[in-house]
Homo-oligomer: A and B are copies of this chain.
Amino acid sequence: MSTVQLKNPHVAELDVDHYYHLGFDSSMDLKELFGGVRFVLYGGSNDRMLNIAESFAASFWPLPLGQKVTPIGSTTRYHMFKVGPILFFAHGMGMPTFSIMLHETTKLLAAAGAKDVIMIRIGTSGGVGVEGGSIVVTKNSVSGLLEPYYDIPSLGKVIRRPSVLDQDVHDGLLAAAAELGLTAVSGTTMSVDCFYEGQGRLDGAICHYEAADKLAFLQKASEAGVRNIEMESLMFGAFCQELGIKGGVICTTLLNRLNGDQVTMTPEQYKAWVGGVVEVVKTYVAKTLGITRKD
């Protein structure tokens, strides 16, 4: 059993640590509230994370008649939910907003004394050579320059950190998909700061290249092992690696970028595609925690 660790001696010097964007602080009884947390599931949007939390509750920890899952902490910046030993946090879009949440979640769990915590991002992404509705489990992440590092300027100098996710979590998610008879691809995820130019789309407000240039780059990325593109996993892997957190990323793809740029799937498709990924994560969580489904 290993507790969540920080790499910052200064935190211990604070009388009270305010996890400002979450709306919790270290004067609360965090051990009681969060000491038993074993999983943190992250995703982009508030609605999606509520749906996922409700789905986990229905499968493993059914709520009594007259009760429902409701946000915890502050709802100003993020929506967060807790069901059993699992936190469900909506991180918004992009590495910076997710980074804030990761710092504060990790500090909160360290203060709570949580043990053997696994963090998984459940995302949406653009596929590269895989069709919409595919499941991609991230083996490693690369930047828009196809480099496996996350660069963050700090005190005027760039800190470069390798982005490394956990092999066991990766393998466990793939095994869970196989158990369900779902096809999941293991691959490299390209992780960038821009949905349009940063992903080589032709449909942004600014575009300085032609369709052939875009396809040549996506082809190059595909040959380098890239199977999907999103906007968070590179920083997530760097953060997990730095702190020894077991992290995983599993995404559905909303389209195949080799065929187009616009996201036009139906709400029903979106629901079904995300639902598939959620079932995979449920299966992995159940196996890890040694629990069985009640639905």
Interface residues of A in 200-223 (CB under 8 A from B): 200, 202-209, 211, 213-214, 217, 220-221
Interface residues of A in 146-165 (CB under 8 A from B): 146, 152-159
Does A198 make an interface contact (CB < 8 A)?
yes
Does A18 make an interface contact (CB < 8 A)?
yes
B152 and A217 form a contact (CB under 8 A): no
Interface residues of A in 1-57 (CB under 8 A from B): 6-11, 14, 17-18, 20-21, 44-48
CB neighbours of A9 from chain B (8 A)? 207
Give the nearest-CB partner of A48 in chain B. B76
Interface residues of A in 210-269 (CB under 8 A from B): 211, 213-214, 217, 220-221, 231, 239, 242-243, 262-264
For the complex, what is the distance from the CA of A207 to the CA of B11, rounded to whole Å?
Answer: 9
B103 and A14 form a contact (CB under 8 A): no
For the complex, what is the distance from the CA of A102 to the CA of B194, rounded to whole Å?
Answer: 11
CB neighbours of A45 from chain B (8 A)? 76-77
For the complex, what is the distance from the CA of A17 to the CA of B129, rounded to whole Å?
Answer: 23
CB neighbours of A159 from chain B (8 A)? 197, 208
Does A130 make an interface contact (CB < 8 A)?
no
For the complex, what is the distance from the CA of A101 to the CA of B208, rounded to whole Å?
Answer: 19
For the complex, what is the distance from the CA of A198 to the CA of B97, rounded to whole Å?
Answer: 13
B95 and A203 form a contact (CB under 8 A): no
Residue of B21, B106, B143 touching A205 (CB-CB under 8 A): B106
Chain A interface residue bracket vs B: 35 or more
CB neighbours of A239 from chain B (8 A)? 205-206
Residue of B47, B152, B203, B204 touching A197 (CB-CB under 8 A): B152
For the complex, what is the distance from the CA of A220 to the CA of B155, rounded to whole Å?
Answer: 10
Does A96 make an interface contact (CB < 8 A)?
yes
B96 and A193 form a contact (CB under 8 A): yes
**Chain B nearest Cβ from A142, distance in angstroms:** 11
A93 and B102 form a contact (CB under 8 A): no
B103 and A97 form a contact (CB under 8 A): no
Query: Can you spell out 10 A-B residue pairs with CB atoms less than 8 angstroms apart?
Result: A18-B263, A94-B94, A96-B193, A96-B194, A97-B97, A154-B200, A155-B209, A193-B193, A205-B239, A206-B242
The chain A residues found within 8 Å of chain B, CB to CB, are 6-11, 14, 17-18, 20-21, 44-48, 75-77, 92-97, 99-100, 102-104, 106-107, 110, 143-146, 152-159, 192-198, 200, 202-209, 211, 213-214, 217, 220-221, 231, 239, 242-243, 262-264
Closest 7 CB pairs of A and B: A94-B96, A144-B153, A8-B207, A93-B97, A106-B205, A155-B217, A10-B202
